[in-house]
């Protein structure tokens, strides 16, 4: 059976969709899976055993039209996106069966559960979502010192970002027990630079700033080798969940029940339960950002204690 899947666009969603795709591939045994999506999403599934081909989509509609029309015939098309462009792709794809995720239809529960219910409903099956799974070729931990990873970014918007001086304060406190790695993409260069300045000012030398210096596969490798991870609600947070990395996740404007780490018993959420939470806005509509500003380094260190990790 030939199946074409359009993946979610963002890193975190691409990790959170893995249980639904595993559910699908288990049901459709011996199926040949073709993937289309963003460069980021394709990277998450590079080593999946049932994926026979992957294509990064062009944003230009003319090029997209030509590309999709030349993909060939499929027994089923599944899109995990509900955008207008995905509806355009669904119209163009030549397939006997077409299914598209609707964010309006699947509103309640964790995002992993929403994606999985979509597959259950589409194929008339009833399977609970399993663990997150990334088919990575990496897991090469060989460092003598424990590794602390810091991921200060959040693609959704500035409202999700904790403060560089607070990240640095945690790293400084832990620097005698852990070597430190700062991770992220191009949009985190400035905040990572601020963290680096704070560390240098305190004479901390056992750190590496790898922000905007890794591919997605290299990012997966770095995270899979960590002993402790401190992060905002972000894509890297979900990669850490897939590898059961002890994680402190800092939540502000987003919904913990929808996007917290899935099935990571070593993960813990730090947040302030304010009346304005969760606002789900990219920037603070009240202009005070208290959901993040009120969280201090001591709160994160206390959470690390709860994970029974030393510092």
Q: Is residue 135 part of a domain?
A: no
**Secondary structure of the chain as H, E, C letters:** CEEEEECCCCHHHHHHCHHHHHHHHHHCCCCEEEEEECHHHHHHCCCCCCEEEEEECCCCHHHHHHHHHCCCEEEEEEECCCCHHHHHHHHHCEEEEEEECCCCCCCCCCHHHHHHHHHHHHHCCCCCCCCCCCCCCCCCCCCCCEEEEEECCCCCCHHHCCCHHHHHHHHHHHCCCEEEEECCCHHHHHHHHHHHHHHHHCCCCCEEECCCCCCHHHHHHHHHCCCEEEEECCHHHHHHHHCCCCEEEECCCCCHHHHCCCCCCCEEEECCCCCCCCCCCCCCCCCCCHHHHCCCHHHHHHHHHHCCCCC
Q: Is residue 173 part of a domain?
A: yes
Residue 288 sits in the same domain as residue 245: yes
Residue 174 sits in the same domain as residue 81: no
Q: How many domains does the chain have?
A: 2
pLDDT confidence of residue 81: 97
Domain boundary among 123, 155, 175: 123
Q: Is residue 174 part of a domain?
A: yes
Which structural domain, as residue segments, surrounds residue 177?
Answer: 146-306
Residue 265 sits in the same domain as residue 183: yes
Residue 238 sits in the same domain as residue 284: yes
pLDDT confidence of residue 309: 67
Provide the β-strand partners of residue 3: 33, 76
pLDDT confidence of residue 138: 63
Alpha carbons 127 and 146: distance in angstroms, whole number: 38
Residue 29 sits in the same domain as residue 156: no
CATH classification at residue 300:
3.40.50.2000
Residue 193 sits in the same domain as residue 80: no
The string of pLDDT tens digits covering residues 122-161 is: 999 999 999 999 987 666 666 678 999 999 986 766 888 9
Residue 61 sits in the same domain as residue 163: no
Residue 107 sits in the same domain as residue 221: no
Q: Is residue 130 part of a domain?
A: no
In terms of phi and psi (left: phi > 0; alpha: psi -120 to 50; beta: otherwise), the region of 256 is: alpha
pLDDT confidence of residue 44: 95
Alpha carbons 269 and 299: distance in angstroms, whole number: 10
Q: Is residue 17 part of a domain?
A: yes
Alpha carbons 162 and 232: distance in angstroms, whole number: 7
Residue 189 sits in the same domain as residue 96: no
Residue 212 sits in the same domain as residue 79: no
Q: Is residue 132 part of a domain?
A: no
Please indicate, yes or no, whether the overall pTM of this predicted structure exceeds 0.85: yes
Residue 20 sits in the same domain as residue 113: yes
Provide the β-strand partners of residue 148: 180, 228
- pLDDT tens for the chain, residues 1 to 311: 999 999 999 999 999 999 999 999 999 988 999 999 999 999 999 989 999 999 999 999 999 999 999 999 999 999 999 999 999 999 999 999 999 999 999 999 999 999 999 999 999 999 999 999 998 766 666 667 899 999 998 676 688 899 999 999 999 999 999 999 999 999 999 999 999 999 999 999 999 999 999 999 999 999 999 999 999 999 999 999 999 999 999 999 999 999 999 999 999 999 999 999 999 999 999 999 999 999 999 999 999 999 976 54
């Amino acid at each position: 059976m030939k199946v074409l899947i359009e993946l979610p666009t963002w890193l975190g969603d691409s990790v959170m969709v893995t249980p639904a795709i595993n559910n699908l591939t288990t049901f459709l045994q011996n199926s040949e899976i073709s993937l289309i999506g963003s460069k980021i999403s394709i990277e998450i599934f590079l080593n999946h055993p049932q994926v026979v081909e992957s294509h990064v989509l062009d944003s230009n509609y003319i090029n997209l039209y030509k590309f999709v029309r030349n993909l060939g015939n499929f027994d089923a098309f599944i899109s995990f996106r509900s955008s207008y462009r995905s509806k355009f792709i669904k119209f163009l794809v030549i397939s006997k069966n077409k299914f598209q995720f609707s964010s309006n239809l699947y509103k309640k529960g964790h995002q992993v559960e929403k994606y999985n219910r979509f597959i259950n409903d589409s194929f008339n099956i009833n399977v609970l979502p399993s663990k997150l799974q990334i088919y990575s070729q990496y897991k090469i931990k060989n460092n003598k010192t424990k590794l602390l990873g810091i991921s200060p970014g959040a693609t959704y918007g500035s409202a999700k970002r904790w403060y560089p001086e607070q990240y640095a304060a945690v790293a400084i406190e832990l620097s005698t027990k852990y070597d430190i790695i700062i991770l992220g993409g191009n949009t985190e260069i400035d905040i990572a630079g601020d963290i680096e300045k704070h560390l240098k000012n305190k004479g901390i030398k056992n750190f590496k700033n790898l922000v905007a210096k890794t591919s997605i596969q290299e990012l997966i490798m770095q995270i899979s080798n960590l002993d402790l991870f401190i992060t905002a609600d972000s894509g890297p947070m979900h990669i850490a969940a897939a590898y059961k990395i002890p994680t402190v996740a800092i939540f502000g404007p987003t919904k913990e029940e929808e996007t917290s780490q899935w099935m990571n018993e070593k993960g813990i959420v730090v947040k302030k339960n304010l009346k304005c939470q969760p606002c789900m806005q990219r920037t603070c509509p009240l202009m005070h950002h208290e959901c993040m500003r009120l969280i201090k380094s001591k709160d994160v260190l206390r959470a690390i204690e709860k994970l029974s990790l030393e510092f």
